[in-house]
């Protein structure tokens, strides 16, 4: 039986542990299910970590003789085998259910972990399948399972299709535990962009138009089912637009109030917080603002793969810092578009920092232009504002994203502060779309 101290030390030392700056007051196993009886016994554990503030988080562990059973290929193959068989297992206060949406090979040989994973644990099998085990659990269906299942069922081809999943239903919570997808071998979109900066930019720039088309088709699919309450598009209310404006306005005020004095890169925007807020007010006199739908929620080049001459979109969990309820909320699809436009800005600015390569001066502008052209062509027109209304709403989301980036870089990568500063400065200097 694992004691409390061992649980705390193990969970808080992991890369996927989310609250490294908080003090843990208590930890316990709140439910468990036996996956294998024979030696070594294999158990799935739900572990509660409680903080001195009275709040808590729940984590998933797979345990044999140790608390880190996922490092053993035999154990992760067991999870996949249970999905293929559609097994249901009793837990102390609930049920762990395994399910498959399509058939796949019964025999899996090689299993290797994905070393870049941060907030979850992913394992690749034979370069055919990839299992993602969600570590921090929240009550409700994980948006990645929800969106992948919908897009797979509706025949959207530019994803790694969903193959299976497993979940927990019980007194503690109902939660998605993990998903199984087809594995797609290709080039990470972020690395692909950086690689082209000094090695022929034209093919990449041309491919951004296709990325725009794929994004537009994804949004069209996610807003295509009027009979499914989780996926039917909804009209944007005046109240929801007001809430968006208020939220961004509050973030602007908070960030600009606390700008440090010793960061010279901040000079282009220092003292311009009220100007940024006024820009927001001008932009939100929008008129028609399209519809709200389920969307990717954390869309940037790092969430894409360039494979076999086309784009594949990954990681539909949404922004990990937001609650599951927030990540499942319908929003304007232009939030995703703004995220990708900001990613182009980051790639252009990061190239000299990471690769020592200055991109062509028009690289970002051309990538934006091509991406937006492809997007406008492919998206269902009723989902977005028409004409300049789309440009205005897109500017709101770009401003929101750039202010969020400014706070993040100040706290985590001061050397990169100049990237969101340049974005905010550009938006201040541009004319407001008519």
Q: Where does 244-364 show beta strands of DSSP type E?
A: 291-292, 304-307, 310-313
Per-residue tens of pLDDT for the chain, all 434 residues = 568 999 999 999 999 998 988 999 999 999 999 999 987 889 999 999 999 988 999 999 999 989 999 989 889 999 999 999 999 999 999 999 999 998 877 788 889 999 876 789 999 999 999 999 999 999 999 999 999 999 999 999 999 999 999 999 998 899 999 999 999 999 999 999 999 887 778 889 999 999 999 999 999 999 999 999 999 999 876 666 677 778 778 888 888 888 998 899 999 999 888 888 887 777 666 566 789 999 999 999 999 999 999 999 999 999 877 889 889 989 999 999 999 999 999 999 999 999 999 999 999 999 999 999 999 999 999 999 888 889 888 988 898 899 889 988 998 898 999 999 999 999 888 876 65
Strand partners, 45: 32, 61
- Please report, for the chain, the start and end positions of each structural domain, with discontinuous segments joined by +: 4-182, 187-429
CATH 3.90.1200.10 holds for 187-429: yes
Q: Which residues contact 313 (CB under 8 A, 6 or more apart)?
A: 158, 159, 214, 215, 218, 296, 299, 303, 304
- β-pairing, 88-90 vs 56-63, is unpaired
| Residue 84 token pair | 């293929």
In whole angstroms, give the CA distance from residue 30 to residue 139.
Answer: 14
Q: How far is CA 358 from CA 203, 343, 351, 370, in A?
A: 18, 16, 6, 21
Give Cβ neighbours of residue 274 (< 8 Å, ≥ 6 apart): none
Q: What is the DSSP-derived secondary structure letter of residue 26? A: E
Can you read off the two tokens belonging to residue 408?
């993040």
């Amino acid at each position: 039986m694992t004691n409390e101290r061992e649980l705390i030390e193990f969970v808080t030392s992991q890369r996927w542990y989310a609250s490294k700056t908080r003090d843990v007051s208590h930890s316990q196993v709140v439910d468990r299910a036996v996956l294998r009886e024979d030696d070594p016994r294999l158990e799935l554990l739900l572990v509660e970590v409680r903080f001195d503030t009275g709040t808590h988080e729940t984590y998933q562990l797979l345990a044999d003789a140790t608390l880190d059973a996922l490092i053993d290929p035999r154990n992760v193959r067991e999870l996949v085998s249970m999905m293929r068989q559609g097994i249901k297992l009793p837990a102390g206060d609930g049920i762990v259910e395994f399910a498959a949406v399509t058939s796949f090979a019964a025999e899996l040989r090689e299993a290797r972990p994905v070393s870049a994973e941060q907030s979850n644990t992913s394992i690749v099998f034979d370069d055919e399948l990839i299992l993602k085990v969600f570590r921090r659990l929240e009550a409700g269906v994980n948006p990645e399972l929800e969106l992948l299942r919908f897009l797979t069922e509706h025949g959207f081809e530019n994803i790694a299709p969903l193959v299976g999943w497993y979940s927990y239903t019980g007194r503690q919570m109902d939660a998605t535990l993990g998903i199984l997808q087809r594995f797609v071998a290709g080039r990470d979109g972020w690395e692909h962009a950086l690689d082209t900066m000094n090695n022929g930019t034209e093919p990449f720039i041309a491919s951004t138009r296709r990325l725009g088309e794929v994004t537009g088709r994804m949004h069209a699919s996610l807003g295509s089912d009027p009979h499914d309450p989780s996926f039917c598009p909804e009209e944007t209310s005046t109240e929801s637009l007001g809430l968006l404006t208020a939220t961004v306005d509050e973030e602007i005020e908070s960030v600009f109030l606390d700008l440090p004095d010793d960061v010279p890169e901040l000079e282009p925007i220092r003292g311009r917080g009220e100007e940024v807020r006024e820009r927001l007010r001008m932009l939100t006199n929008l008129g028609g603002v399209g519809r709200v739908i389920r969307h990717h929620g954390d869309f940037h080049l790092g969430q894409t793969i360039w494979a076999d001459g086309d784009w594949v979109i990954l990681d539909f969990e949404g922004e990990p810092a937001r609650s599951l309820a927030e990540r499942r909320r319908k929003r304007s699809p232009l939030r995703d578009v703004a995220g990708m436009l900001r990613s182009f800005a980051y790639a252009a600015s990061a190239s000299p920092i990471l690769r020592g390569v200055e991109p062509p001066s028009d690289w970002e502008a051309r990538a934006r232009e091509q991406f937006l052209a492809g997007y406008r062509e492919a998206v269902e027109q009723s989902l977005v504002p028409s004409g300049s209304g789309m440009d205005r709403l897109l500017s709101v989301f770009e401003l929101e994203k750039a202010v969020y980036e400014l706070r993040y870089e100040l706290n985590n990568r001061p050397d990169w502060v100049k990237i969101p500063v340049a974005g905010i400065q550009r938006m201040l200097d541009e004319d407001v779309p008519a």
